[in-house]
Amino acid sequence: MRFKKHEVFYSETMQAISQKYFNTPSYWIDLVEHNDLRYPYIVETDNEKKENPEHLVTYGDTIIIPSEEELSNVSLQELNKKDTETLVELSLGRDLNITDDEKYFNAHGSSDEILAFTDNGSGDLDVVRGVSNIKQQLQTRLLTPKGSLLLHPEYGSEIHNLFTYNTIETATLIEMEVARTLKVDTRVENVNIINWTIKGNEYHGEFEVNIRSVENSIRFVLNMDDSGIIALF
């Protein structure tokens, strides 16, 4: 693989570096991935760089510029595990982490208090990235009753209203609503039912979600009974 070296200058951004070498700013994410950088990528001082020295650069540091041909032809099969994880993280995004403490979550509802904290003891909010992020976002979308989120009337699902009779028709309606709800997220390519059962007032379904543009899939279990709805991703 052919590379050039670039010395980072004052006030430069990754988009500007991409423009300089490729005549377009659109390769900036590729440069971030090839150099294993983390946001904010370029910092102004060495003290800022010390917060994450392996994944930040400052003025005077050197980054690697791969050839445009290599950027165009790169495939997931040619990437090592670390590269692949970086691409997945970039493509699936990041967000604030919701606590996985079910009792705490149920006690506080959807207020700001359900957000999880890091374990550094400083009271910083935690974040989720990549596959963990999309799992959390799909779970939240699925379990939020449609129309209940202020200013977002189309967000959420109707599955809370579907469990009426323990029939095949009910299971089919639930399957269709789960697929419709999750495929609203443009990162989801397909949703498939693996199996389902209905016993009395209890529904149990297992689904597989295929993620677009990355070699990954997610399985989750959907349970409904008189106590409510649970989606385990």
Calculate the dihedral angle through the C-alpha atoms of 32, 96, 214, 14, rounding to the nearest 10 degrees: -20
Is residue 82 over pLDDT 60?
A: no
Which of 152, 187, 193 has its CA nearest to residue 173? 193
Structure token pair of residue 155:
């967000």
Is residue 77 over pLDDT 50?
A: no
Confidence band, pLDDT 50/70/90 cuts, at residue 90: low
Is residue 168 over pLDDT 90?
A: no
Other C-beta atoms within 10 Å of 130: how many?
Answer: 20
Which of 194, 214, 190 has its CA nearest to residue 90? 214
Which tops the pLDDT comparison, 93 or 53? 53
Q: Are 33 and 39 in contact (CB under 8 A)?
A: no
Is residue 9 over pLDDT 70?
A: yes
The model's pTM: 0.52
Structure token pair of residue 110:
């959807």
The DSSP bridge pattern shows strands 127-129 and 202-211 to be unpaired
Taking residues 58-81, report their average pLDDT. 67
Q: Which of 5-9, 173-177, 185-189, 203-207 has the lowest mean pLDDT?
A: 185-189
For the chain, list the domains and their CATH numbers: 2-67 (no CATH), 81-216 (3.10.450.40)
Given this model, what pLDDT does residue 17 score?
Answer: 92
> Model confidence over 102-152: pLDDT tens digits?
555 555 455 555 565 666 666 666 677 677 778 888 888 888 889 887 888
Confidence band, pLDDT 50/70/90 cuts, at residue 178: very high
Structure token pair of residue 231:
């989606």
